[in-house]
Protein backbone atom coordinates (compact mmCIF):
# COMPACT_ATOMS: atom_id res chain seq x y z
CA UNK A 1 0.00 0.00 0.00
CA UNK A 2 1.14 3.58 -0.66
CA UNK A 3 -1.14 5.53 1.68
CA UNK A 4 0.29 8.79 2.95
CA UNK A 5 1.80 8.93 6.44
CA UNK A 6 1.90 12.28 8.20
CA UNK A 7 3.85 13.73 11.13
CA UNK A 8 1.49 15.27 13.68
CA UNK A 9 3.78 15.77 16.68
CA UNK A 10 7.44 15.90 17.73
CA UNK A 11 9.29 15.60 21.01
CA UNK A 12 12.98 15.75 21.85
CA UNK A 13 15.47 15.99 24.70
CA UNK A 14 19.19 16.24 24.07
CA UNK A 15 22.41 17.87 25.23
CA UNK A 16 21.34 21.16 23.62
CA UNK A 17 17.87 21.36 25.11
CA UNK A 18 15.19 19.68 27.17
CA UNK A 19 12.49 20.36 24.57
CA UNK A 20 11.98 21.52 21.00
CA UNK A 21 12.13 25.24 21.79
CA UNK A 22 15.42 24.95 23.71
CA UNK A 23 17.01 22.89 20.95
CA UNK A 24 16.00 25.41 18.28
CA UNK A 25 17.42 28.23 20.39
CA UNK A 26 20.73 26.37 20.75
CA UNK A 27 20.93 25.85 17.00
CA UNK A 28 20.27 29.51 16.29
CA UNK A 29 22.88 30.66 18.81
CA UNK A 30 25.27 27.91 17.60
CA UNK A 31 25.67 26.56 21.13
CA UNK A 32 26.92 22.96 21.17
CA UNK A 33 26.08 20.51 23.96
CA UNK A 34 29.51 18.93 24.45
CA UNK A 35 31.49 19.36 27.64
CA UNK A 36 33.25 17.53 30.48
CA UNK A 37 31.46 14.49 31.92
CA UNK A 38 29.21 15.54 34.81
CA UNK A 39 26.77 12.70 35.55
CA UNK A 40 28.32 9.45 34.33
CA UNK A 41 30.62 7.79 36.86
CA UNK A 42 33.75 6.91 34.88
CA UNK A 43 37.54 7.02 35.12
CA UNK A 44 37.48 9.04 31.85
CA UNK A 45 35.67 11.98 33.45
CA UNK A 46 38.45 14.50 32.86
CA UNK A 47 39.65 12.96 29.62
CA UNK A 48 36.81 12.50 27.13
CA UNK A 49 34.20 15.14 26.25
CA UNK A 50 30.60 14.00 25.83
CA UNK A 51 27.21 15.56 25.11
CA UNK A 52 25.14 14.82 28.21
CA UNK A 53 21.57 15.91 28.84
CA UNK A 54 22.00 18.67 31.43
CA UNK A 55 19.76 17.10 34.07
CA UNK A 56 20.41 14.53 36.80
CA UNK A 57 18.30 11.39 37.08
CA UNK A 58 16.40 13.01 39.93
CA UNK A 59 15.63 16.07 37.80
CA UNK A 60 14.59 13.90 34.85
CA UNK A 61 12.33 11.84 37.10
CA UNK A 62 10.71 14.99 38.48
CA UNK A 63 9.94 16.16 34.93
CA UNK A 64 8.57 12.73 34.01
CA UNK A 65 6.60 12.41 37.23
CA UNK A 66 8.07 9.01 38.12
CA UNK A 67 10.63 7.43 40.46
CA UNK A 68 14.30 8.31 40.03
CA UNK A 69 15.12 4.60 40.39
CA UNK A 70 14.00 4.15 36.78
CA UNK A 71 16.73 3.78 34.15
CA UNK A 72 17.99 7.03 32.62
CA UNK A 73 17.26 5.54 29.19
CA UNK A 74 13.59 5.16 30.14
CA UNK A 75 13.39 8.62 31.71
CA UNK A 76 14.68 10.27 28.54
CA UNK A 77 12.27 8.21 26.44
CA UNK A 78 9.30 9.06 28.64
CA UNK A 79 9.95 12.81 28.48
CA UNK A 80 10.38 12.98 24.69
CA UNK A 81 7.59 10.53 23.79
CA UNK A 82 5.10 12.26 26.10
CA UNK A 83 6.07 15.65 24.63
CA UNK A 84 5.52 14.34 21.09
CA UNK A 85 2.11 12.96 22.00
CA UNK A 86 1.07 16.20 23.68
CA UNK A 87 2.31 18.17 20.67
CA UNK A 88 0.11 16.10 18.36
CA UNK A 89 -2.99 17.18 20.36
CA UNK A 90 -4.98 14.07 19.50
CA UNK A 91 -8.23 14.54 21.39
CA UNK A 92 -9.32 10.92 21.80
CA UNK A 93 -6.41 8.50 21.45
CA UNK A 94 -8.52 5.67 22.90
CA UNK A 95 -10.62 5.59 19.72
CA UNK A 96 -7.58 4.99 17.52
CA UNK A 97 -5.36 1.94 17.04
CA UNK A 98 -2.13 3.23 18.57
CA UNK A 99 1.38 1.81 18.63
CA UNK A 100 4.68 2.61 20.29
CA UNK A 101 7.75 1.64 18.25
CA UNK A 102 10.85 2.65 20.17
CA UNK A 103 14.56 2.00 19.72
CA UNK A 104 17.57 1.88 22.00
CA UNK A 105 20.90 0.09 22.23
CA UNK A 106 21.76 0.03 25.95
CA UNK A 107 18.46 -0.66 27.69
CA UNK A 108 18.78 -0.13 31.43
CA UNK A 109 22.50 -0.86 31.47
CA UNK A 110 23.15 2.30 33.47
CA UNK A 111 21.29 0.82 36.46
CA UNK A 112 22.96 -2.56 35.98
CA UNK A 113 26.38 -0.93 36.11
CA UNK A 114 25.49 0.76 39.39
CA UNK A 115 24.20 -2.53 40.81
CA UNK A 116 27.36 -4.49 40.06
CA UNK A 117 29.65 -1.87 41.60
CA UNK A 118 28.03 -2.62 44.96
CA UNK A 119 27.40 -6.33 44.38
CA UNK A 120 30.97 -7.19 43.37
CA UNK A 121 32.35 -5.48 46.45
CA UNK A 122 29.91 -7.37 48.69
CA UNK A 123 27.38 -9.98 47.42
CA UNK A 124 25.02 -8.87 50.18
CA UNK A 125 24.83 -5.41 48.63
CA UNK A 126 23.11 -4.17 45.50
CA UNK A 127 19.35 -4.20 44.94
CA UNK A 128 17.96 -6.44 42.21
CA UNK A 129 15.12 -3.98 41.61
CA UNK A 130 17.76 -1.75 40.02
CA UNK A 131 18.34 -4.20 37.16
CA UNK A 132 14.77 -5.08 36.17
CA UNK A 133 14.97 -2.79 33.11
CA UNK A 134 18.28 -4.14 31.83
CA UNK A 135 17.18 -5.42 28.42
CA UNK A 136 16.19 -3.07 25.61
CA UNK A 137 12.56 -4.14 25.30
CA UNK A 138 11.76 -3.39 28.94
CA UNK A 139 12.41 0.30 28.32
CA UNK A 140 9.82 0.40 25.54
CA UNK A 141 7.26 -1.59 27.52
CA UNK A 142 7.58 0.61 30.61
CA UNK A 143 7.13 3.84 28.63
CA UNK A 144 4.18 2.38 26.71
CA UNK A 145 2.55 1.52 30.03
CA UNK A 146 3.06 5.06 31.27
CA UNK A 147 1.48 6.45 28.08
CA UNK A 148 -1.35 3.88 28.26
CA UNK A 149 -0.54 2.47 24.82
CA UNK A 150 -1.76 -1.10 24.39
CA UNK A 151 -2.46 -1.95 20.75
CA UNK A 152 1.08 -2.54 19.48
CA UNK A 153 4.44 -2.24 21.22
CA UNK A 154 7.83 -3.27 19.88
CA UNK A 155 11.52 -2.44 20.18
CA UNK A 156 14.09 -1.95 17.41
CA UNK A 157 17.82 -2.28 18.08
CA UNK A 158 20.02 -2.00 14.98
CA UNK A 159 22.85 0.12 16.39
CA UNK A 160 22.92 3.73 15.15
CA UNK A 161 20.13 3.25 12.60
CA UNK A 162 17.75 1.96 15.31
CA UNK A 163 15.28 4.80 15.66
CA UNK A 164 15.26 5.61 11.94
CA UNK A 165 14.21 2.00 11.45
CA UNK A 166 11.59 2.39 14.19
CA UNK A 167 10.10 5.33 12.28
CA UNK A 168 10.15 3.44 8.98
CA UNK A 169 8.51 0.43 10.61
CA UNK A 170 5.86 2.64 12.21
CA UNK A 171 5.09 4.10 8.80
CA UNK A 172 4.71 0.62 7.32
CA UNK A 173 2.25 -0.37 10.06
CA UNK A 174 0.13 2.65 9.16
CA UNK A 175 0.46 2.16 5.39
CA UNK A 176 -0.75 -1.42 5.68
CA UNK A 177 -3.79 -0.40 7.70
CA UNK A 178 -2.69 -2.06 10.94
CA UNK A 179 -2.51 1.12 13.06
CA UNK A 180 -3.85 4.68 12.94
CA UNK A 181 -1.21 6.35 15.13
CA UNK A 182 2.39 5.40 15.95
CA UNK A 183 4.73 7.18 18.36
CA UNK A 184 8.08 6.24 16.81
CA UNK A 185 11.70 7.11 17.55
CA UNK A 186 14.29 6.19 20.11
CA UNK A 187 16.29 6.82 23.24
CA UNK A 188 19.75 6.12 24.64
CA UNK A 189 21.61 7.16 27.76
CA UNK A 190 25.35 7.30 28.23
CA UNK A 191 26.81 4.31 30.05
CA UNK A 192 30.28 3.20 31.02
CA UNK A 193 29.92 0.21 28.69
CA UNK A 194 29.23 2.52 25.74
CA UNK A 195 32.03 4.93 26.54
CA UNK A 196 34.57 2.18 27.13
CA UNK A 197 33.50 0.31 24.00
CA UNK A 198 33.88 3.29 21.68
CA UNK A 199 37.13 4.23 23.39
CA UNK A 200 38.44 0.73 22.65
CA UNK A 201 37.52 1.22 18.98
CA UNK A 202 39.73 4.34 19.09
CA UNK A 203 37.14 6.54 17.35
CA UNK A 204 36.46 9.08 20.12
CA UNK A 205 37.70 12.64 19.63
CA UNK A 206 39.36 14.19 22.69
CA UNK A 207 38.25 17.54 21.27
CA UNK A 208 34.82 18.59 20.08
CA UNK A 209 34.01 16.66 16.92
CA UNK A 210 34.02 18.27 13.46
CA UNK A 211 32.09 16.09 11.03
CA UNK A 212 32.97 16.13 7.32
CA UNK A 213 36.16 18.09 7.99
CA UNK A 214 39.40 16.85 6.45
CA UNK A 215 41.02 17.06 9.90
CA UNK A 216 38.22 15.24 11.76
CA UNK A 217 39.39 13.16 14.69
CA UNK A 218 36.42 11.04 15.71
CA UNK A 219 33.04 11.33 17.38
CA UNK A 220 31.71 12.65 20.68
CA UNK A 221 29.17 10.40 22.37
CA UNK A 222 25.85 11.92 23.37
CA UNK A 223 22.52 10.92 24.86
CA UNK A 224 18.87 11.87 24.54
CA UNK A 225 15.59 10.84 22.94
CA UNK A 226 13.51 11.89 19.96
CA UNK A 227 10.06 10.83 18.75
CA UNK A 228 7.62 11.71 16.00
CA UNK A 229 3.89 10.98 16.06
CA UNK A 230 2.96 9.34 12.75
CA UNK A 231 -0.70 9.31 11.71
CA UNK A 232 -2.76 7.88 8.88
CA UNK A 233 -4.68 10.05 6.45
CA UNK A 234 -7.91 9.30 8.31
CA UNK A 235 -6.47 10.15 11.73
CA UNK A 236 -4.87 13.31 10.29
CA UNK A 237 -8.17 14.84 9.20
CA UNK A 238 -8.65 16.92 12.35
CA UNK A 239 -5.00 17.52 13.24
CA UNK A 240 -2.47 20.26 12.59
CA UNK A 241 0.28 18.51 10.66
CA UNK A 242 4.00 19.18 10.22
CA UNK A 243 4.76 17.28 7.02
CA UNK A 244 4.67 13.89 5.28
CA UNK A 245 7.06 11.01 5.75
CA UNK A 246 7.34 10.51 2.01
CA UNK A 247 10.18 8.01 1.77
CA UNK A 248 12.28 5.55 3.74
CA UNK A 249 14.66 2.69 3.07
CA UNK A 250 16.87 0.30 5.00
CA UNK A 251 19.84 -1.40 3.34
CA UNK A 252 22.67 -3.54 4.67
CA UNK A 253 25.98 -4.04 2.91
CA UNK A 254 27.27 -6.32 5.73
CA UNK A 255 30.80 -5.08 5.04
CA UNK A 256 32.17 -5.15 8.61
CA UNK A 257 30.99 -5.41 12.22
CA UNK A 258 31.82 -1.79 13.07
CA UNK A 259 33.07 -0.10 9.87
CA UNK A 260 31.20 1.28 6.86
CA UNK A 261 32.19 0.01 3.42
CA UNK A 262 34.78 2.37 1.87
CA UNK A 263 32.66 2.85 -1.25
CA UNK A 264 29.56 3.68 0.82
CA UNK A 265 27.46 0.88 -0.66
CA UNK A 266 24.98 0.66 2.21
CA UNK A 267 24.69 4.44 2.49
CA UNK A 268 24.07 4.78 -1.24
CA UNK A 269 21.44 2.04 -1.34
CA UNK A 270 19.57 3.52 1.63
CA UNK A 271 19.47 7.04 0.16
CA UNK A 272 18.64 5.83 -3.33
CA UNK A 273 15.89 3.57 -2.03
CA UNK A 274 14.32 6.33 0.06
CA UNK A 275 14.34 8.73 -2.89
CA UNK A 276 12.76 6.14 -5.17
CA UNK A 277 10.05 5.22 -2.62
CA UNK A 278 9.15 8.89 -2.23
CA UNK A 279 8.67 9.30 -5.98
CA UNK A 280 11.23 12.10 -6.02
CA UNK A 281 14.45 12.64 -7.92
CA UNK A 282 17.78 13.30 -6.18
CA UNK A 283 17.61 16.91 -7.44
CA UNK A 284 14.38 17.39 -5.43
CA UNK A 285 16.17 17.04 -2.09
CA UNK A 286 16.79 20.47 -0.57
CA UNK A 287 18.71 19.52 2.57
CA UNK A 288 20.48 16.45 3.97
CA UNK A 289 20.73 15.90 7.70
CA UNK A 290 23.96 13.92 7.51
CA UNK A 291 24.76 10.88 9.60
CA UNK A 292 28.04 12.77 9.95
CA UNK A 293 29.67 11.21 13.01
CA UNK A 294 33.10 12.77 12.55
CA UNK A 295 35.03 9.52 12.20
CA UNK A 296 37.37 9.00 9.26
CA UNK A 297 35.54 5.92 7.99
CA UNK A 298 31.91 6.97 8.44
CA UNK A 299 32.24 10.42 6.88
CA UNK A 300 34.25 9.13 3.93
CA UNK A 301 31.68 6.39 3.20
CA UNK A 302 28.74 8.80 3.45
CA UNK A 303 30.46 11.44 1.31
CA UNK A 304 31.29 8.84 -1.34
CA UNK A 305 27.65 7.74 -1.44
CA UNK A 306 26.42 11.34 -1.66
CA UNK A 307 28.78 12.02 -4.56
CA UNK A 308 27.53 8.92 -6.35
CA UNK A 309 23.84 9.79 -5.93
CA UNK A 310 23.79 13.58 -6.24
CA UNK A 311 26.75 14.69 -8.41
CA UNK A 312 26.91 17.35 -9.80
CA UNK A 313 23.91 19.01 -8.08
CA UNK A 314 24.39 18.69 -4.33
CA UNK A 315 21.76 19.69 -1.75
CA UNK A 316 22.72 21.77 1.26
CA UNK A 317 23.82 19.52 4.09
CA UNK A 318 25.14 19.44 7.65
CA UNK A 319 25.56 17.18 10.66
CA UNK A 320 23.59 18.12 13.77
CA UNK A 321 25.83 15.70 15.69
CA UNK A 322 28.23 18.65 15.84
CA UNK A 323 25.71 19.95 18.43
CA UNK A 324 24.24 16.86 20.09
CA UNK A 325 27.08 14.37 19.79
CA UNK A 326 26.33 10.89 18.52
CA UNK A 327 23.32 9.64 20.48
CA UNK A 328 23.56 6.14 18.98
CA UNK A 329 20.16 4.40 19.08
CA UNK A 330 18.43 7.74 19.64
CA UNK A 331 20.15 9.60 16.80
CA UNK A 332 17.68 8.71 14.04
CA UNK A 333 14.76 9.86 16.19
CA UNK A 334 16.39 13.07 17.37
CA UNK A 335 17.50 13.93 13.84
CA UNK A 336 14.06 13.07 12.45
CA UNK A 337 12.64 15.71 14.80
CA UNK A 338 15.23 18.21 13.57
CA UNK A 339 14.39 17.31 9.95
CA UNK A 340 10.67 17.86 10.57
CA UNK A 341 11.46 21.24 12.13
CA UNK A 342 13.61 22.04 9.10
CA UNK A 343 10.54 21.52 6.92
CA UNK A 344 8.25 23.50 9.24
CA UNK A 345 10.54 26.53 9.69
CA UNK A 346 12.72 26.36 6.57
CA UNK A 347 15.82 25.73 8.70
CA UNK A 348 19.30 24.76 7.55
CA UNK A 349 21.43 23.81 10.54
CA UNK A 350 25.12 24.70 10.81
CA UNK A 351 27.89 22.10 10.84
CA UNK A 352 29.94 23.45 13.74
CA UNK A 353 33.74 23.65 13.69
CA UNK A 354 34.02 22.83 9.98
CA UNK A 355 37.18 24.34 8.44
CA UNK A 356 38.63 22.23 5.62
CA UNK A 357 36.85 20.36 2.83
CA UNK A 358 37.39 16.62 2.62
CA UNK A 359 39.91 15.70 -0.02
CA UNK A 360 38.35 14.45 -3.25
CA UNK A 361 34.93 16.04 -2.74
CA UNK A 362 33.61 19.28 -4.22
CA UNK A 363 30.82 19.81 -1.67
CA UNK A 364 31.04 21.13 1.90
CA UNK A 365 28.53 21.29 4.76
CA UNK A 366 26.74 24.48 5.77
CA UNK A 367 28.45 26.48 8.51
CA UNK A 368 25.80 29.01 9.54
CA UNK A 369 22.22 28.83 10.78
CA UNK A 370 19.47 30.02 8.46
CA UNK A 371 15.67 29.85 8.53
CA UNK A 372 12.74 30.68 6.29
CA UNK A 373 14.54 28.87 3.47
CA UNK A 374 12.53 27.11 0.70
CA UNK A 375 12.94 23.62 2.19
CA UNK A 376 10.51 21.13 0.62
CA UNK A 377 12.22 17.77 1.04
CA UNK A 378 14.71 16.74 3.74
CA UNK A 379 16.76 13.53 3.67
CA UNK A 380 17.87 12.25 7.09
CA UNK A 381 20.63 9.61 7.23
CA UNK A 382 21.29 7.09 10.01
CA UNK A 383 23.96 4.49 9.38
CA UNK A 384 24.82 1.79 11.91
CA UNK A 385 27.30 -0.93 12.80
CA UNK A 386 27.18 -4.04 10.65
CA UNK A 387 26.36 -1.94 7.59
CA UNK A 388 22.74 -1.37 8.67
CA UNK A 389 21.95 1.88 6.86
CA UNK A 390 18.66 3.78 6.81
CA UNK A 391 17.41 6.99 5.24
CA UNK A 392 14.16 8.90 5.82
CA UNK A 393 12.64 11.63 3.65
CA UNK A 394 10.27 14.26 5.06
CA UNK A 395 8.30 16.40 2.62
CA UNK A 396 6.33 19.62 2.86
CA UNK A 397 2.54 19.30 2.74
**Residues designated as active site:** 160, 291, 326
CA atoms 205, 206, 212, 214: torsion sign: negative
Q: Distance between CA atoms of 157 and 118, rounded to whole angstroms?
A: 29
Strand bridging mode 377-383 / 388-395: antiparallel
CB-count burial class (<10 Å; 0-12, 13-18, 19+) for 176: exposed
Beta strands (DSSP E) in the chain are 5-13, 98-103, 152-156, 181-188, 224-232, 243-252, 287-289, 316-318, 377-383, 388-395
Strand ordering across the sheet containing 287-289: 152-156, 98-103, 181-188, 224-232, 5-13, 243-252, 388-395, 377-383, 287-289, 316-318
**Packed helices 109-121 and 72-88: angle between N→C axes, nearest 10 degrees:** 160
Strand bridging mode 224-232 / 5-13: antiparallel
Is residue 306 within 8 A of residue 314, CB to CB? The reply is: yes
Q: Distance between CA atoms of 260 and 298, rounded to whole angstroms?
A: 6
Amino acid sequence: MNADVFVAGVGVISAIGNNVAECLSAFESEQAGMGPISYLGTVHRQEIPVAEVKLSNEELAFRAGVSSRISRTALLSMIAAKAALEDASIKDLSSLRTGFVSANTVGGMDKSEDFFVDFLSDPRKGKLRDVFQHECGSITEWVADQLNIRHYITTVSTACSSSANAIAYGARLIRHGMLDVVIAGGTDALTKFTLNGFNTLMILDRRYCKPFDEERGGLNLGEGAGYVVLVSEQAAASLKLYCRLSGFCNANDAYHQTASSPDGTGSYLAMKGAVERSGLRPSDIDYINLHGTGTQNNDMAEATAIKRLFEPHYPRMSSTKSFTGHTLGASGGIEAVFSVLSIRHGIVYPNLRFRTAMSGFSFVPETSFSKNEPIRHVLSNSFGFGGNCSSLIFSKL
